[in-house]
Chains A and B, each alone.
Chain A
Amino acid sequence: MTTALPSQSAPSAALPGLDAATLSSLKKLTQYYAVTAFIALMIGVLLGPLQALNYGGINVYDYPLLKVLIKSYYQGLTLHGVLNALVFTQFFISGWMLYLPVRDLNVRPNMRFAWFTYLTMTAGLLTAAVPLLTNDATVLYTFYPPLEGSPVFYIGAAVMVAASLLVAGQVVWLWLAWKRAHPGRVTPVVTYMSVATWLMWVVAALGLVVEVVVMLIPWSLGLTRGVDPLLARTLFWWTGHPIVYFWLLPAYISWYAFLPRQAGGRMASEGLTRLAFAMFLVFSVPVGLHHQYADPNVQNSWKIIHMFLTFLVAVPSLLTAFSAAASLEDAARAQGGRGLIGWVRRLPWGNASMTAQVLAMVSFIFGGAGGIVNASMAFSPVVHNTAWIPGHFHITVGTATTLTFMGVMFWLVPHLTGKRLASPRTALASVWWWFTGMMLFALGMHWQGLAGVPRRAQVSASAQQAVYDAMHLGLPKAITAASGIVLFVAAILFYAVLWRTLLSRRVDDPESTPIPTSEAISAAGETLAGASPLVRRTEPLLALTFAALVLVILVYGPVIAPMLANYQFIPGQRLW
């Protein structure tokens, strides 16, 4: 960081600071993580219009040329989901949330370990990619057993997730070393947010790790005679809901700490920021049953308890909405903005990075509201597993996360490489097209879902078109198909900018594009002794992690115990 900010720490004798060689290696590593992520997203996004056209009533999967590459709609959908939701997010976040706390704390990480982690994650990705591409793991990104994919897929996925836990370990390790070297100091806010998110992910990942390592891998290798589909689903959703916070919180880091300065203002309140992340750490995981309201053989009382905890996690997102809006308003008024909402016009709309993130927030208002609907037991049966659900998550992970990361790339690439953003105007256009495409997709899919169209179905090829014709879907189908085209244009514009930037020559000192760390209106202060009670109480992140773990065991133990006691060995099937 080129600006001297309170969060910057002077290196101490016990803890070496970043030297030029380490910084250069770290920047290169972050670039590798980010570029690998955006290559995965590019392939996934190119498959997207095919899915949108399907829900527009146009079946493109029977074209011979496409059939050579992709055997079925379901293989295409599996690749789309795995690459966009699992690979893109995890690679970008692993680079982003290693780089930020290291720079924030100014500590020297073990770069050999960091590169080893990147290579492990990439090896896992390439391993899992083989069966995905050969149509041997067409199980979608939820891979519910007893549909049985190739063991190579489960092993590759497990290695990839394990690598993310190594990044988590390295960041927590560096943070603890910094704490020891700086007793009595308040953890700087960017580090606080990163460490809280990593610790949440460690608690969250336990379910998936147990499902894949204990159940799916031995079963797919033929070592066990079957798996219980209900227990597998329960362990999957232990991770499957908090994973969306693992995708979302790294974007929140940018909204809290960087976006205010990009908009010309200040971060609102550090205390509130810490409270939000502490709440996410404790309440993100014990909520998974809200994905299983429709599952048999689960006590309704536990479904209700998970629902209550799910609603609690809405509180830190509402706090984020407040802080983000307050900091944007502060920025706009500082630039002469007036009126109750007229100030919005004074935001720097010419800046593609800021625009991407503000549009991501706007769409997330609808996405978050839809999420509350999904989490409500009484509404869930109306929308569960209908087209409403993909409509919902394309304006959450598809914008709040993805559009924010796209916007971040516009400053992060120049910051890491010293290359200049090619064509800021095209960059700006790409984010508006993306936003428009996602809003249209969400409109069409929510609408179709309410009419009763199921998700993840090749409806355009169904032999029973009369059933869908009776739902009067002309307009929502047209909107969904159009959204696929709009998003395709958005992707071409965005990747034209990204590749032209990355392939251009290095012209500036990379550090001349700073990390846009913002000042806070209400700062936390430097020392714990002088900090507010809120800052002091949210500081012990390890204790909060322990509390999260206890809460998870309390609300999952009684759910999982009867599933173990009545374990069903159901053999695997390959039905694609």
Chain B
Amino acid sequence: MSRAPESAPPARLDHHALERYETAWLGVAAVMTALLFVGVLASVVSGTYPLLDAGSGHAHDGPIVRGRVDPKNLAATPFAKPGLVVDAAGQPLLNDQGTLDAYIVAGNFTFQPAVLRVPAGVPVTLHVTATDVAHGFEVTGTNINAEILPGHVASLTVTFRHPGEQHAICNEYCGVGHHNMITRFVVDPPATGAKETQ
């Protein structure tokens, strides 16, 4: 076969070319992964979303230890009075970390309080627990989204910039009434005279 073929078959990828492309791609993949990690880490550090407490960050009245609570004995905890913690005059009370506290109880296909009201412009720490099974706590229009487990307290601190009305939706399957477990979540305008933070 000394005669060259009239139309040469297309050159196929050979071993060496493939290796070059592979190495380049592996490098691209590694760089992309590193950038992604750094980007997300920057977002976490700069606080673009509320981090969940790991069970030691907040001092509570009553028997809440390391983020754990006895679901049969919520009466002895601040969860006995769901809602914003207020003083005798009905004014929101700052805790020793400079935030307001709001306690929320999920159970029996409802949230307590039935309508949660928090003020805008002040950091509020939401503490949520469940009485029966796992529930979810998602506030529409925000990136507040936590698993609510009986025996555990999910705590996260948020500052609502704007007043308005949203909904808290249970987003973890909790039984036949799951789809009706929705409640109003109201952010009130900053109270006049209330101490502004930031």
Contact = CB atoms under 8 A, between A and B. Distances in A.
Does A pair with B?
A: yes
Interface of A: 72, 74, 140, 144-147, 228-230, 233, 268-269, 272, 292-300, 304, 307-308, 311-312, 314-315, 318-319, 322, 326, 329-330, 333-334, 336, 372, 376-382, 384-386, 452, 454-459, 461-464, 467, 471, 521-522, 562, 566, 568, 570, 573, 575-576
Contact of A333 (B10, B14, B176): B10
Nearest to B139: A452
B81 interface: no
Contacts of B10: 333-334, 336
Given A334-B10, A464-B182, A385 B145 contact: yes
A452 B136 contact: no
B110 to A, nearest CB: 12
Interface residues of B, number: 69
Contact of A452 (B29, B65, B66, B138): B138
Contacts, number: 213
B54 interface: yes
A296 B154 contact: yes
B18 A455 contact: no
B22 interface: yes
Contacts of A269: 18-19, 22
A576 B143 CA distance: 29
B44 A304 contact: yes
B169 interface: yes
A311 B36 contact: yes
A378 B150 contact: no
B10 to A, nearest CB: 5
B89 interface: no
A268 B19 CA distance: 9
Nearest to B145: A381
Contact of A385 (B21, B53, B172): B172
Interface string B16-27: 001101100110
Given A296-B149, A333-B12, A144 B172 contact: yes
Given A296-B154, A454-B171, A521 B178 contact: no
B147 A382 contact: no
B102 interface: no
A377 B41 CA distance: 8
Nearest to A300: B51
A153 B68 CA distance: 29
A573 B130 CA distance: 13
Nearest to B134: A144
Contact of B40 (A307, A314, A326, A382): A307
A215 B47 CA distance: 37
Contacts of A140: 173
A318 B25 contact: yes
B124 to A, nearest CB: 17
B125 interface: no
Nearest to B180: A463
A522 B22 CA distance: 11
A147 B175 contact: yes
A79 to B, nearest CB: 14
Interface string B164-191: 0001011111111111101000000000
A146 B51 contact: no
